[in-house]
């Protein structure tokens, strides 16, 4: 563990800037809580939208919504987690104080600029987004390089790849190339799926075994390596569409099977009594379910797009919510299993995933109702996190130590 027993300098830092998880978890969850209501009101009730007409001159709604869910919400959570975890992995100091505030400010400035009701150059929010990701990537690289911990070097490389994908998304917006944008969103979803595959494969069986006092199952290396290759392939397939549909269908089905085999070995049936465990397992289970559903509907473009939300909500958002609930308690020296009961929030996201991805395919005539209902469940889930965890994230650790 990092030696943080000398708090002479860090204690003077406001609590929110003491470690990366604090501002980025709170910021990411706040964006999630606010942006879905803003999106659905702007889409279905534009007369009540907070945006002026000028907003849509440069930033197109169909671009803004997926971009901000991926690079505004999800990347904030990912970077907050990695900037915190790298300190534990390497015993090297991560971002804190004014460098952390500056990095968070870059992330926030990109979000604000994309909401401004006047014309502006697209390169400006793109610049701040890129700075946020590159500073995060450099911090990870610096910590990892100092101790030569090469098994984690993939994370800064992944953030640099995300920076490139994000810049490509801004290019697509500037060129009004929304076909390219749709491909980018798919690729970025699988980029996040790759992160979940790697990190989830480490932490979910570890957390489960520790809590249940079971022996952690040894990973099957062939399965783990195969899944990394497959998920990385989906990243580039989503963007470039270089594989025929038949091959993509087979790879999706194979990935679904391997993920399911992997998940089944982590004692999921023994976690039902503990929300901070079953929420991780249920979120991961949505990954093979989504992959199998996509393989089955590979030739139905509408169903394929709808079912991507099964992963986006059921896996990505749900695993983010579960992890930030857990990490926020552990890194503020609170008992992980005696914090706020987030069961309602976790269930709400499962319901939201089904309402958004499945119900419109079964009963499309009620699609607007399903979308409103899903948005309500989503907002409830992240609203509960912000309500319960904002005081935790903005106050010092209960044991008085830095971090």
d(CA 193, CA 234): 9
55 CB neighbour count, 10 Å cutoff: 20
pLDDT-wise least confident of 37-51, 127-141, 288-302, 378-392: 37-51
Q: Calculate the CA 285 to chain-centre distance.
A: 16
Domain boundaries, the chain: 13-393
Give me the residue label for tokens 């020296």: 333
Segment 74-105, tens digit of pLDDT: 999 999 999 999 999 999 999 999 999 999 99
Q: Check pLDDT > 90 for residue 57.
A: no
CATH number of the 13-393 domain? 1.20.210.10
Q: Check pLDDT > 50 for residue 3.
A: no
State the pLDDT at residue 51: 67
Q: Predicted confidence band at 116 (pLDDT cuts at 50, 70, 90)? A: confident
Q: Which two tokens stand for residue 181?
A: 């944008």
Q: Are 139 and 79 in contact (CB under 8 A)?
A: no
Q: Among residues of the chain, what percentage have pLDDT more than 90?
A: 86
Tell me the helices (H) and strands (E) count for the chain, helix number first.
Answer: 16, 0
pLDDT mean over 141-146: 96
Q: Which two tokens stand for residue 75?
A: 């990347």
Q: Among residues of the chain, what percentage have pLDDT more than 70?
A: 95
Segment 251-261, tens digit of pLDDT: 999 999 999 99
Which 3 state secondary structure label does DSSP give 196? helix
Q: Check pLDDT > 90 for residue 120.
A: no
State the pLDDT at residue 55: 57
Which 3 state secondary structure label does DSSP give 159? helix
Cα-based distances in Å from 250 to 255, 306, 388: 9, 20, 43
| Residues 200/201/204/205 CA torsion (nearest 10 deg) | 180
What is the reported pTM? Answer: 0.94
State the pLDDT at residue 10: 46
d(CA 169, CA 184): 7
State the pLDDT at residue 53: 62
Q: Check pLDDT > 90 for residue 222.
A: yes
Q: Check pLDDT > 60 for residue 250.
A: yes
CA geometry: angle 385, 132, 102, nearest 5 deg:
85
State the pLDDT at residue 257: 98
DSSP state letters, 35-55? HHHHHHHHHH-GGG-SS-TTH
């Amino acid at each position: 563990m990092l030696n943080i027993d000398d708090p002479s300098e860090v204690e003077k830092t406001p609590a929110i800037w003491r470690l990366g998880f604090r501002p980025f978890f709170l910021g990411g969850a706040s964006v999630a809580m606010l942006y879905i209501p803003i999106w659905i009101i702007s889409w279905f009730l534009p007369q009540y939208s907070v945006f002026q007409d000028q907003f849509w001159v440069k930033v197109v709604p169909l671009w803004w919504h997926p971009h901000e869910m991926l690079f505004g919400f999800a990347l904030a959570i990912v970077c907050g987690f990695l900037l915190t975890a790298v300190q534990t992995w390497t015993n090297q100091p991560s971002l804190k104080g004014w460098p952390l505030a500056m990095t968070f400010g870059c992330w926030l400035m990109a979000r604000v600029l994309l909401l401004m009701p006047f014309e502006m150059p697209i390169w400006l929010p793109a610049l701040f987004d890129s700075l946020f990701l590159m500073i995060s990537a450099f911090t990870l690289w610096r910590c990892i390089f100092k101790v030569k911990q090469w098994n984690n070097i993939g994370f800064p490389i992944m953030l640099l790849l995300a920076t490139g994908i994000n810049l490509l998304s801004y290019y697509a917006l500037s060129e009004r190339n929304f076909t390219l944008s749709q491909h980018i969103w798919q690729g970025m979803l699988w980029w996040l799926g790759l992160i979940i595959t790697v990190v989830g494969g480490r932490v979910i069986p570890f957390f489960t075994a520790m809590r249940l006092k079971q022996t952690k199952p040894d990973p099957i290396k062939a399965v783990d390596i195969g899944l990394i290759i497959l998920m990385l392939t989906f990243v580039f397939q989503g963007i470039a569409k270089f594989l025929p549909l038949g091959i993509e269908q087979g790879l999706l089905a194979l990935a679904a099977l391997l993920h399911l085999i992997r998940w089944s070995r982590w004692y999921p049936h023994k976690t039902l009594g503990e929300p901070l465990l079953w929420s991780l397992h249920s979120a991961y289970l949505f990954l093979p379910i989504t992959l199998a559903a996509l393989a089955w509907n590979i030739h139905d473009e509408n169903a394929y797009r709808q079912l991507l939300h099964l992963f986006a909500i059921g896996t990505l958002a749900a695993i983010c919510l579960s992890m930030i609930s857990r990490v926020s308690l552990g890194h503020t020296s609170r008992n992980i299993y005696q914090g706020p009961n987030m069961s309602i929030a976790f269930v709400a996201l499962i319901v939201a995933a089904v309402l958004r991805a499945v119900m419109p395919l079964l009963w499309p005539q009620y699609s607007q109702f399903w979308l409103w209902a899903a948005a309500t469940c989503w907002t409830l889930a992240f609203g509960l996190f912000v309500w319960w965890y904002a005081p935790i994230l903005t106050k010092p650790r209960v044991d008085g130590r830095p971090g």
